[in-house]
């Protein structure tokens, strides 16, 4: 009976795309059947949409995709475009410089370099999805990706999320714990959709270069330091 009920469940994640995000982001994706890229939301500066941390001998460093923001105060994430050419080659150069001595850099450098070389897209959303799909492939995450623009989007912050879930016949909605501050959970429950909040605590540490251990860095840090064992330092990826 439990297996039958599991098969009937449809778990959905709806969130904004991030640039080469940390392992917790991929755990979110891996727990769900469908991942809705929710980039109709307003682009926010100094956020995770276009940047992430890497570790260096001098501490944490931002890798930031340069984007056009001047005078565009209300643009959506999927309307945000790159402002400088060759940013991708520069980012790969920085990764290579800071991780070339990591134990699994050589084993993974070819496919990651190729992802950077082919990241020649105009919009931030296209770039982020390009990286997210490549990393999911490495981690054996088979979750379906869908752009939120494919849905009939209604008004209301929570109402819109519920509507997307209904259009997907979702039984379970997954989100971060910060959503408790703004989301009306009752609207999901009224539609027989269960709400689950991700738990980011108790991640295992791994052998990491350059000083004190830090969980909140790009997934590439985990991959370069652990290789295919990266899945063993995550919670929900099938091992």
pLDDT for the residue numbered 219:
98
Among 121, 128, 146, 174, residue whose Cα is nearest residue 18: 128
Q: What is the pLDDT of residues 5-26, one digit of tens each?
A: 455 789 999 999 999 999 999 9
Residues 6+ apart with CB under 8 A from 63: 19, 20, 51, 52, 53, 54, 91, 94, 95, 218
Helix (H, G, I), strand (E, B) or coil at 82: strand
Q: What is the pLDDT of residues 197-221, one digit of tens each?
A: 999 999 999 999 999 999 999 999 9
Is pLDDT at 27 greater than 50 in this prediction? yes
pLDDT for the residue numbered 239:
41
Average pLDDT, integer, range 110-138: 98
Contact 174, 198 (CB under 8 A): yes
* 176: confidence class by pLDDT, cuts 50, 70, 90: confident
How does the average pLDDT of the chain come out, rounded?
A: 94
List C-alpha distances in Å: 76 to 21, 45, 51, 131, 169.
Answer: 19, 11, 16, 20, 26
Structural domain boundaries in the chain:
2-233
Q: What is the pLDDT of residues 142-168, one digit of tens each?
A: 999 999 999 998 999 999 999 999 999
Q: What is the pLDDT of residues 76-95, one digit of tens each?
A: 999 999 999 999 999 999 99
Strands in 11-15's sheet, in edge-to-edge order, are 144-147, 34-37, 11-15, 172-175, 194-197
Q: What is the pLDDT of residues 37-88, one digit of tens each?
A: 999 999 999 899 999 999 999 999 999 999 999 888 899 999 999 999 999 9
Euclidean distance between CA atoms 79 and 42, whole angstroms: 9
Is pLDDT at 121 greater than 70 in this prediction? yes
pLDDT for the residue numbered 180:
86
pLDDT for the residue numbered 7:
56
């Amino acid at each position: 009976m439990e297996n039958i009920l599991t098969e009937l469940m449809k778990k959905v994640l709806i969130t904004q795309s991030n640039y080469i995000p940390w392992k917790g982001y991929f755990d979110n994706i891996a727990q769900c059947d469908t991942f809705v890229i929710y980039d109709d939301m307003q682009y926010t500066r100094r956020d995770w949409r276009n940047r992430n941390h890497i570790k260096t001998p001098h501490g944490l460093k931002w890798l930031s995709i340069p984007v056009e923001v001047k005078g565009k105060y209300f643009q959506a994430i999927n309307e945000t475009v790159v402002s400088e050419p060759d940013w991708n080659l520069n980012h790969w150069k920085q990764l290579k410089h800071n991780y070339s001595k990591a134990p699994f850099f050589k084993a993974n450098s070819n496919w990651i370099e190729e992802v950077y070389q082919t990241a020649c897209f105009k919009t931030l959303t296209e770039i982020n999805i390009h990286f997210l799909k490549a990393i999911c492939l490495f981690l054996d995450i088979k979750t379906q990706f869908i752009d939120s623009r494919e849905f009939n989007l209604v008004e209301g912050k929570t109402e819109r999320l519920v509507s997307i879930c209904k259009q997907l016949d979702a039984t379970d909605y997954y989100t971060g714990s910060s959503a408790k501050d703004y989301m009306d959970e009752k609207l999901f429950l009224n539609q027989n959709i269960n709400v689950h909040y991700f738990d980011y605590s108790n991640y295992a540490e791994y052998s990491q270069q350059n000083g004190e251990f830090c969980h909140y860095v790009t997934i590439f840090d985990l991959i370069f330091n652990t290789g295919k064992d990266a899945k063993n330092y995550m919670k929900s990826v099938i091992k």
